[in-house]
Amino acid sequence: MPTHTTNADLFARAQRVIPGGVSSPVRAFGSVGGTPYFVARAEGPHVWDVEGRRLVDVVQSYGAIIAGHAHPAIVEAVAAAAADGTSYGAPTEREVLLAEEIRTRVPACERVRLVSSGTEATMSAIRLVRGATGRDRLVKFAGNYHGHSDGLLADAGSAVALIEADPSDPTAVPGSAGVPRGAVADTVVVPYNRVPELDDTVACVIVEPVAANMGLVPPAPGFLAGLRAECDRVGALLVFDEVITGFRLGRGGAQGRYGVTPDLSCFGKVIGGGLNVGAFGGRADLMDQMAPLGPVYQAGTLSGNPLATAAGLAALDLLDDAAYTRLEATARRLGEGLAGALGAAGLDVVVPVEGPLLGIHLAADPAVDYDTARTTDTATYARLFHALLDRGIALAPGPYEILFPGLAHDDATVDEVLAAAGDAARAVAE
């Protein structure tokens, strides 16, 4: 990689040719201010920017990376696949293997369709539930993010709402210009962690089984089971968006962990090993309503891509029971350490940890829904973010993103993060 440049130079050039200088908004540092670092390369728990600075990375591509950057097994699998061609427009054995692997770990996925992103997975799942039920309305939870398709972009957590909702108007408001009101007219947004009362016009309830786009908000006891029962009562389908939780929260994702079975599940991130992938799956009778068997259309030139499926299979191969035990232990140690370090400096902080996931909520009381999640002190987060970055630790540049400790974050790396966190928090609290 050429490194005869600086972050500032590249950002200036980027802004002249790419809107805001970035390919996805949060990367522009809008919530925290300052100049983004441009990554030159990454390995294990670290990224190096174009100026040669090494950072301990707890962003890990927002959860797409679980085994650390440039894991040799994944690099090798991708290289071998690339040598055989990068896309064919015809089915391959690896798609079958990846779908089989998903079904083995998540038995509710009797059939799986591969796509190219989490957004595509949820968008296609919503089309399928509407096609299968003949109903249009969908219920989502405030603060849950399901990608950027029109009908789901309302009160979408870490996707900063560019249009403010009118509190006196109960219908969903598009979170972005360019989303017609009609596109969210059948979207009903309700508070997380409360089971809504449904009626027989509802096609589905879609939920992040652990909310991870408004900081980390675990499901209250009984919440997911309550959703299952309420959906069954009115004949609506339950869709788990496991784009973050899938294959990270444990072998069987959130549904395996909490013992609640959805009708459809959406995946992304981990199952692509850091390449572009998504998937949705569920009961055979439902999934078989997809084209070419059924009337619900969905397609993709790069769906089931050879490189992405090779990377995904290699990543899943690393995720045995011991790996999940390690991930949880790392998150626990990091979570307890961060809570201690930030609290000792006098900051109000709650560090929720759920399995291998953790968040930083800068408030005195835990968040249980979007309203309480938004009590986090965003100005302090911005200062903490920069204080940590100055000390070589990269958090996500947004107060509603979570941390993604992975298999590459060993004890020494966690110690490095915690030492920096104590120091950073004292600087912020001054």
Which residues make Cβ contacts (< 8 Å) with residue 104, sequence separation at least 6? Answer: none
Q: Which is nearer to ligand PLP, 81 or 115 (CB)?
A: 115
Nearest distance from residue 259's CB to ligand PLP, in Å? 20
Q: Which is nearer to ligand PLP, 131 or 268 (CB)?
A: 268
Nearest distance from residue 52's CB to ligand PLP, in Å? 29
Q: Could you give the CA distance from residue 383 to residue 385 in angstroms, rounded to a whole number?
A: 5
Q: Are 234 and 115 in contact (CB under 8 A)?
A: no
Number of other CB atoms surrounding residue 95 within 10 Å? 21
Nearest distance from residue 117's CB to ligand PLP, in Å? 4
Nearest distance from residue 97's CB to ligand PLP, in Å? 21
Q: Could you give the CA distance from residue 290 to residue 303 in angstroms, rounded to a whole number?
A: 15
HEC readout, 155-220: CCCCCCCCCCCCCCCCCCCCCCCCCCHHHHCCEEEECCCCCCCCCCCEEEEEECCCECCCCCECCC
Nearest residue to the partner ligand PLP, using Cβ: 118
Q: For residue 71, report the phi and psi dihedrals to the nearest 5 degrees.
A: -60, 130
Nearest distance from residue 206's CB to ligand PLP, in Å? 9
Nearest to 385 by CA among 10, 2, 26: 26
Nearest distance from residue 37's CB to ligand PLP, in Å? 20
DSSP string, 356-418: TEE--B-SSS---SHHHHTTS-HHHHHHHHHHHHHTTEE--SSTT--B---TT--HHHHHHHH
Q: Which is nearer to ligand PLP, 154 or 345 (CB)?
A: 154
Nearest distance from residue 242's CB to ligand PLP, in Å? 8
Q: Which is nearer to ligand PLP, 144 or 376 (CB)?
A: 144
Q: Which is nearer to ligand PLP, 373 or 425 (CB)?
A: 373
Q: Which is nearer to ligand PLP, 133 or 158 (CB)?
A: 158
Q: Which is nearer to ligand PLP, 145 or 324 (CB)?
A: 145
**Residues forming the site for ligand PLP (CB under 6 A):** 62, 117-119, 122, 145-147, 208, 213, 241, 243-244, 268, 278
Q: Tell me which H or E stretch contains 62.
A: helix 60-63
Nearest to 74 by CA among 222, 275, 269: 275
- Residue 295 preceded by cis peptide, ω within 30: no
Q: Tell me which H or E stretch contains 342.
A: helix 321-344
Alpha-carbon dihedral sign for residues 407, 410, 413, 414 = positive
**Catalytic residue numbers, as ranges:** 145, 241, 269
Q: Which is nearer to ligand PLP, 120 or 230 (CB)?
A: 120
Q: For residue 372, report the phi and psi dihedrals to the nearest 5 degrees.
A: -75, -30
Q: Could you give the CA distance from residue 317 to residue 392 in angstroms, rounded to a whole number?
A: 31
Report how far apart, in Å, the C-alpha atoms of 212 and of each of 53, 166, 259 are. Answer: 29, 25, 19
Nearest distance from residue 247's CB to ligand PLP, in Å? 13
